[in-house]
Amino acid sequence: MMSSKPKVLLIRDDFPKKAIDLLRTRCDVKVLKRSKKDGLITTQDVVDCVPGMFSIFCYSGIPINEQVLKAAGPSLKVIGTMSVGFDHVDLTSMKKYGVRLGNTPGILTETVAEIAVGLIIATTRRFFEANREVKTGGWQEWIPGWMCGRSIKGSVVGILGCGNIGTSIAEKLINFKVSQLLYTSRRENLAVKALGGQLVTVDELMERSDFVVVALALNEDTKFIVNKDRIATMKSNAILVNIGRGELVDQDALVEALREKRIRGAGLDVMTPEPLPLNHPLMGLDNVLLLPHIGTSTIEMEEEMAVMTSQNILAVLDGCPMPHEVIF
């Protein structure tokens, strides 16, 4: 007998159990079937499985484009993405087909801010380089200047994009006794101002900062906001940290600046593409620290995000406001 419950397509089979159990109380949950033996998910996989679905439970790594939405048909009412960012979703097509979008902002603020601070410390104090020296026999004796980094204390920190995550980063870094805290925002951030933060232009922040933290959302206005010209204005001792999205930074220009040591280093939790090919130029540079987009990767946070994604989907099923809906 066919189920009369609305169908929800899970893009993966390893989302947190608590969230999926919540969906199963009301919905017929289907797991995406992958065509490739390597397990990689393709757009065609989604297209093949999506017809007749009420919802798609996805994440930022899978594009939701017009091809997917058209294949789904009129039964598709909501996309639940287990992410804050939604640049993987074609909003124009969503509007065209009348499909709503729920995301998971707010709850991941602290975990992403922790990664940003961790990248700053690990990059400026050269943790990964030093660890490699320990493991490869490079640590023979202490000599002046060996593995010297630079302290955060007394530095100028600039935060590009001071929303919830940027504010949390500022609150954490102020305890390192920075000399100045600069930030960009559409409007004055009173919480950061209370910490002594100064609202400046993007250009001024790039020129004055010892540490530039990119914490913006990606959209048409912010794509490549850290471009070649702005990288060229950075201090020679500056470190760039990106925890937003890879395309916020002109990566080719960053590689060039790092290779020529025109800036001191970079710490990236996001890049383009993801995953980064093993032969990518960034892989061969000692002055860049790369993480595989783990800003939200704590057990507690992933479960909370997944549950919120399920709640967004069920709210549409019940005709109620979503806990977090993207309005477009």
By C-alpha distance, which of 132, 55, 86, 110 is closest to 286? 132
What's the helix, strand, coil split of the chain in %, to 5? 35, 15, 50
- Alpha-carbon distance 169 to 175, whole Å? 10
- Alpha-carbon distance 178 to 28, whole Å? 53
Three-state DSSP class for residue 248: helix
- Alpha-carbon distance 61 to 49, whole Å? 17
Residue 280 falls in the annotated catalytic set: no
Strand partners, 270: none
Q: Which residues contact 168 (CB under 8 A, 6 or more apart)?
A: 109, 110, 112, 113
Strand order across the 100-102 sheet: 28-31, 7-10, 55-58, 78-81, 100-102
Three-state DSSP class for residue 82: coil
Kindly name the residue from 88, 280, 293, 324 that is annotated as catalytic: 293
Terminal alpha carbon distance of the chain: 39
- Distance set, CA 242 to CA 28, 271, 308, 315 (Å): 39, 8, 26, 34
H or E element that contains 168: helix 164-173
Could you list the active site residues? Answer: 293
